[in-house]
Amino acid sequence: MYPYIHLGTLNFDLGPLHFHGPVELGTFGLLLWLAAVCATIVLHLNFARHKVRADALNIVALATVAGVIGAKLWHVMETPRILFAYPAEELLNRAGFAWFGGLLAAILVLLWQGTVRYDGKRTGPMGMLDLAAPAAAIGYGVGRIGCLLSGDGDYGIPTTLPWAVTFPHGLVPTTAYVHPTPVYEFLFAVAVAAWLWREGGKPQPVGWLTGQYLLLSGFGRFLVEFIRINPKILWGMSNAQVAAIGSMVAGAALMVAVHGHRKLGLPEKSSVAGAKPLGA
């Protein structure tokens, strides 16, 4: 795979400012940008069909930045001894991002965005999460292709399946033929996004789509970890599997809590004037 796209060599010397070396573009960063673009498009379309006048680009940008920071912090805090010994190297390393940390940080930003006034109205925290659920799913899936291209260690265990791949030049190289688990996650995420978009076209209780997203995304991550190379930490499960169980439990609990409530996509007191219910 190709962790970097080489754009040539740059040489300049302006006294204290000087640089001599290759100019590279990281494929993970490039696909992260593409994931944000795809999520923005999906969120914009969801705002449009529910007549919500909000800036999808601004919302996704803030959630993406928070997600990247949260994912990195969660990853480095998994090994605090190494972090304290080599803080700069760990924090600035281009590899190493934990899904659950990014999810939590993005959720917090989206909850806050739901309290911000758009066109004089608010969507409400849970209403914003519902609207963002399909976008989050597609963004996650596209981002996983960045992991595939960079070979950052998110691949699976060795296999003899005909679609197995190697990562001799990846950030975490291997010459063994392994499961391309980022591809599996991409396909699953696309299916989840399609399902959530379809469900968002029906009257749903506020929070129902968010619960489904947490349940489905956690389920997919729990399954794929069985063939990932992540170390096992508890009862034969990886750290990501433990987090995935937490996501599934939270999603199921939220669905139970909101079941039978008003079937509106946005809270009645803070809905945008003229907005349709989720699914209207």
**Hey, where are the domains in the chain?**
28-270
Question: Residue 265 pLDDT more than 50?
Answer: no
Using alpha carbons only, how large is the chain's radius of gyration in Å? 20
φ/ψ (deg, to 5) at 153: 100, 5
Asked whether residue 258 carries a pLDDT value surpassing 80, the answer given is yes
Q: Could you give the 3-state DSSP secondary structure of residue 36?
A: helix
pLDDT (0 to 100) of residue 278: 41
pTM for this model (two decimals): 0.80
The pLDDT of residue 140 is 92
Using pLDDT thresholds of 50, 70 and 90, give the confidence band for residue 280.
Answer: very low
- Specify the residue for token string 């469900």: 199
Triad 201, 202, 205: Cα angle to 5°: 120
CA pair distance 235, 47, nearest whole angstrom: 43
The pLDDT value given to residue 7: 73
pLDDT for 185: 96
The answer to whether residue 202 scores a pLDDT higher than 80 is: yes
Looking at residue 271, its pLDDT comes to: 38
